[in-house]
A and B are shown apart, each in its own frame.
Chain A
Amino acid sequence: MSKKNTIVLVGQPNCGKSTLFNHLVGFKSRISNLPGTTVQLEKGEFKRKDRVYEIIDLPGIYSLTQGDEAENKTLEFLLNEEYDFIVNILDASMLSRGLELTLQLLKIGKPMVVVLNMMDEAKRKGIIIDVKKLEKLLKVPVIPAIASRGVGIKELFEAIENFKGPVLCFLEDLPGNLRKEADKLTDVLKDCNLNRRHCALYFLATKILGGELSLDTVIKDKGCREKANMIIKEARELFLKEFSMEPEDVIHALRHHTAMTLAEKVVTFKRKRSLSFLEKIDSVVMHPVFGYLIMAIVYLGFFYLTFKIGGYLEDYFTKPFELLYTQKTGLIYSLWNATVDGLSGGIGIVFPYLLPLMFFISILEDIGYIPRAAYLMDTLMHRFGLHGKSVVPLLLGYGCNVPAITATRIIEEERNRVLTALLVPFIPCSARLTVLLAISDKFLGPLFAIGVLFLNIIVVGIVGKILTLIKKEDSPGIVLEIPSYKIPSMKITLAKTWLHVKEFIFVAWPMLIAGSIVLGLIQFYGIEQIINEILYPFTRGLLGLPSKVGVTLLFGILRKELTLIMLQTAMGTPLSQIGNVMTHVQLATFTVFTIFYIPCIATLAAIYKEFNKKIMFYSILLSTFVATVLAITTRFLYLWL
């Protein structure tokens, strides 16, 4: 067996790192979490000639500094994990900024290749880069590339295969006195038995002196820490004396200066062409009035198309399953029908909507619209104590909550991510919207439906506000890069779509099928009666509903799409006749409760997978509480009106 090489992709956000990754790995990528965290990384294999490479796409980071979770974990990964090669991807049109990360990566002391991505974009901006000269200055191979078109991939792997080293480490040009302090700290680190090369130790020392890395994460031994702390204190005084600046500012300024000087040496500017169409577009897309109009059109179009395509696909996908149902009675046949229910529920109801939804969101993502929508919505979300980025998962929730939970990944701050995930289940998904629309259409009128949807938005706002008050944050606001527009590549969009759909197939769908089977068993053995009795104080007493709906509500958790069907079975009447056995107040209460209470089991599974058990239970408690309060309010308000 040939030796498998592990390659890590490192780069700043929006440098085209994921594009390169998707080009290499495509449909075969898999998502995994960094150990003990929610930080996601994608892995996949790439074969070339007789070699197999394991490619790891690390989260995009601006700097190797301790900051948010993604940065911390990337730093830890690069220092502690086993891998063979660093491929550092740079946005060629922002060379100087990208080089600041490159300069840090070069100090880790691993074989490295630099990819100058988006050469076309740089050229368009009038930036010409002398690649050979940059290679000489950095002393590592530099490959010009256009990842979206696969340009440069062959050369990249040739460079990797022909890499002879030696692996140099690029030491920071610290001023004399500070260099001495860094050397001293390096020696202390070495004495502390940190099993690393000198180069990496020196890198750690400068990071610690610069306040970019806390000592505790590197040294566990107390005696060592005391020794190191003395040097750090000494160095800090030196920094303040010589520069009258904080150490981290000095280190950063030096690095910034080095990167700028490097960039100036290799870049020549051609006369910049006039603003391209794509650049002018922002004055409309981000406009205080037109921006919101465009956003409304984009999202309405997005939903319209999703439901249009979904509805069309659904007919085709569900038809074959109807033939599979059997009329025979008996345990085996009941279980068979339940399994078919679960299968068709996945393929026929969720899948048709999930597929176009994920496809469109990938396109919006690749074009670069998502950060723009986040900017537009930030002001409003800020009032709720969240950031603009939370808008994306919330809007997705109207289609299906499961991908909406997954979409919270675009939010970097853990706190905001959790809060957004707790809000997502309050957004009625297509299954719950169906319940609302069907009942409104037949009994309660369109005003009721509009009222509930409006109430829903207000409730999301209020719950959001309360949650953010409980879990305060001190961040002064959003800092989000707005990348330049890109033309999406079909291959990459499809690969991304598939990745999300795959998650549904392997996580949520099995839960759906299991849920159906449990439901089938319960009906077969007639356990409904007992459950209804147990739930009686709640359904009848608190909500004033017929006690028969107990099972419907309890098992609606398994399959919200089945709520209406279960209601018909429970009440023993077709939907059109339900008005005869339930009053309008009861129907209104039932609908409101259904919209807000516990998300379906697939959503819960998604929350569990993305976060943990605790967050999942919070979600259950929170949604049940809110639903109960609202349902009781509806019960009495409706009578009063």
Chain B
Amino acid sequence: MTLFDAQVGQRLRVVQIVGGRGVRSRLFSMGLNPGDIVRVLQIAPFRGTFFVENMSNGSKFALGRGIARKIVVEYV
């Protein structure tokens, strides 16, 4: 599954990030790495943007839906 399919509040582990070099290296350097535990905090209405917390280091991100689809996760 990807982060896109996640429910608000679930704890998930990042397995890998797929997609182009740009997106991958951007997410990596912003501190979202395979192995991190993440949680969707909110999803904006009308099929909107994801608000995600990386519980491994406490950083928070707004991620577009296209980006969320590129983050492969598994249940913890």
Interface residues of A (CB under 8 A from B): 62-63, 65, 67, 93-94, 96-97, 100-101, 125, 211-212, 246, 248-249, 252, 256, 282-283, 286-289, 291, 371, 374-376, 378-380, 382, 387-388, 475-484
Residues of B near A484 (CB, < 8 A) are 58, 60
A-facing residues in B30-76 (Cβ within 8 Å): 30-31, 33, 41-49, 51, 57-70
**A477-B51 contact given A67-B25, A93-B58, A286-B41, CB 8 Å threshold:** no
Question: B30 touching A94 by the CB < 8 A rule?
Answer: no
Can you give 28 A-B contacts (C-beta < 8 A)? A65-B25, A67-B25, A94-B31, A94-B57, A97-B31, A97-B57, A125-B58, A246-B21, A252-B29, A256-B33, A283-B42, A286-B41, A287-B42, A288-B42, A371-B62, A375-B49, A378-B48, A378-B64, A379-B48, A379-B49, A475-B66, A476-B19, A476-B66, A477-B65, A477-B67, A479-B26, A480-B62, A481-B59
CB of B44 to closest CB in A, whole Å: 5
Closest residue of chain A to B19, judged by CB? A476
Kindly list chain B residues whose C-beta atoms are within 8 Å of the C-beta of A94.
31, 57-59
Complex interface: chain B residues within 8 A of A287 (CB): 42
Instruction: Judge whether A256 and B28 touch: CB under 8 Å.
Output: yes
Q: Does B1 contact A (CB under 8 A)?
A: no
**Taking CB as reference atom, which chain B residue is nearest A383?**
B46
CB–CB B26/A375 < 8 A: no
Cβ–Cβ < 8 Å partners of A380 in chain B:
46
Closest CB in chain A relative to B67 CB, distance in Å: 5
Q: Determine the residue in chain A with the shortest Cβ distance to B21.
A: A248
Q: Report B25 CB to chain A, min CB distance, Å.
A: 6
Interface centre among B25, B27, B42, B58 (most CB of A within 10 A): B25
- When C-beta atoms are compared, the residue in chain B nearest to A260 turns out to be B33
With beta carbons under 8 angstroms apart, the residue of B22, B24, B43, B60 that contacts A481 is: B60
**A1 to chain B: closest CB distance in Å?**
41
Nearest 10 A/B pairs, CB to CB: A477-B64, A476-B66, A379-B48, A63-B29, A97-B31, A62-B29, A375-B62, A477-B66, A482-B60, A378-B49
| B44–A479 CB distance below 8 A | no
Bound Cα distance A413, B65 (Å):
18
Q: Across the interface, do B31 and A382 meet the contact criterion of CB distance under 8 Å?
A: no
Residue in A67, A256, A379 whose CB lies within 8 Å of B22: A67
Nearest B residue (CB) for A13: B30
A120 to chain B minimum Cβ distance, whole angstroms, is 15
Whole-angstrom distance from the CB of B61 to the nearest CB of chain A?
Answer: 6
A89 to nearest B CB, angstroms?
16
Please name all residues of chain B whose beta carbon is closer than 8 Å to the beta carbon of A387 when the two chains form the complex.
64
List chain A residues, Cβ under 8 A from B69. Answer: 476
B residues in contact with A282, CB < 8 Å: 41, 60
Q: How far is the CB of A167 from chain B (nearest CB, A)?
A: 25
